[in-house]
Amino acid sequence: MNRIGIDVGGTFTDVVLVDDASGQIWSTKVATTPADRVMGAMNGFRKILELSARDSSEVGFIGHGTTMATNMIVEGKGAKTALVTTAGFRDVLELRRLSRHDRADLYDLQFENPKPLVERRWRLEVNERMRHDGTVEVPLDLAQLRGLAERLADSDIEAVAICFLHSYVNPEHERAALQELRRLLPRCFITASHEVNPEMQEYERTSSTVMNALLGPVCGRYIHSFEAQLRAAGFAGELLFMQSNGGLASTKVVAAKPIVLLESGPAGGVSAAVRSSEQALLRGVLLGDMGGTTFDVSLVRESRPEIRTHGLLHTHAVRAPTIDIDSIGAGGGSIAWIDSGGGVHIGPESAAADPGPACYGRGGTRPTVTDCNLLLGYVDPDSFLGGEFKLDTAAALAAVETHLAKPLGVSVLEAAWTVRVVANALMAQAMRLMTVERGYDPRELAYMCYGGAGPVHAVDLAQELDIKEVIVPPLPGLFSAFGMIVADRQFDGQTAVETELEAVAPARIHAICAQLEQQARAAFGQEHAASGMKTIYRADCRYAGQPAAIAVDIPPELLHPDAPAELVAHIRQGFERNHKRMWNFIKSDQPIVLVNLRVQATVQTGWRGIVSQGTPAPAATRGRRERNVYVAGRMQSLPVHHRTHLAVDVPVAGPAIIEEQSSCIVFKVGQTARIDEVGNLRIAL
How would DSSP label each residue in 445-500? SEEEEESTTHHHHHHHHHHHTT--EEEE-SSGGGHHHHHHHH--EEEEEEEEEEEE
Q: Domain total for the chain? A: 2
C-alpha to C-alpha distances, 72 to 219, 411, 470, 614, nearest whole angstrom: 10, 40, 34, 41
Which whole number is the average pLDDT over 302-319? 87
Give yes or no for a contact between 427 and 635, defined as CB atoms under 8 angstroms apart: no
pLDDT value at position 621? 42
> What is the percentage of the chain residues whose pLDDT exceeds 70?
96
| Residue 656 CB contacts under 8 Å (≥ 6 apart), including other chains | 623, 638, 639, 640, 641, 666, 667, 673
Highest mean pLDDT among 62-76, 84-98, 152-166: 152-166
Report how far Cα 216 is from the mean position of its chain's Cα atoms: 19
Inside any domain, residue 157: yes
Q: Residue 264 is inside which H or E element, if any?
A: helix 264-280
Inside any domain, residue 204: yes
pLDDT classification of 387: cutoffs 50, 70, 90: confident
Inside any domain, residue 561: yes
pLDDT value at position 98? 63
Of 13, 659, 642, 661, the residue nearest 386 (C-alpha): 661
User: Which has the higher per-residue pLDDT, 527 or 499?
Assistant: 499
User: Among the three residues 603, 630, 664, which one is the final residue of a domain in this structure?
Assistant: 603
Give the tens place of pLDDT for each residue, 200-242: 889 999 999 999 999 999 999 999 999 999 999 999 999 999 9
Q: What mean pLDDT value characterizes the chain?
A: 91
Look at residue 279 and tell me whether its pLDDT is greater than 60: yes
Which whole number is the average pLDDT over 609-625? 55
CATH code of 568's domain: 3.30.1490
Give the tens place of pLDDT for each residue, 88-111: 999 999 888 765 444 566 677 777
Which whole number is the average pLDDT over 46-61? 95
| Residue 151 CB contacts under 8 Å (≥ 6 apart), including other chains | 124
User: Which has the higher per-residue pLDDT, 632 or 172?
Assistant: 172
Does residue 224 sit in helix, strand or coil?
A: helix
Inside any domain, residue 556: yes
Q: How far apart are CA 139 and CA 579, in angstroms?
A: 41
Q: What is the largest CA-CA distance in the chain?
A: 84
User: Which has the higher per-residue pLDDT, 588 or 17?
Assistant: 17
Q: How far apart are CA 461 and CA 188, in angstroms?
A: 48
Inside any domain, residue 564: yes
Range of the domain at 587: 489-603
Give yes or no for a contact between 161 and 81, defined as CB atoms under 8 angstroms apart: yes
Inside any domain, residue 97: yes
User: Among the three residues 603, 636, 654, which one is the final residue of a domain in this structure?
Assistant: 603
Look at residue 620 and tell me whether its pLDDT is greater than 80: no
Give 590's strand partners. Answer: none
Inside any domain, residue 30: no
Buried b (16+ CB within 10 A) or exposed e, 81-107: bbbbbbbebbebbbebbeeebbeeeee
User: Among the three residues 603, 633, 652, which one is the final residue of a domain in this structure?
Assistant: 603
C-alpha to C-alpha distances, 591 to 73, 538, 541, nearest whole angstrom: 38, 19, 10
Q: How far apart are CA 595 and CA 276, in angstroms?
A: 34
Inside any domain, residue 123: yes
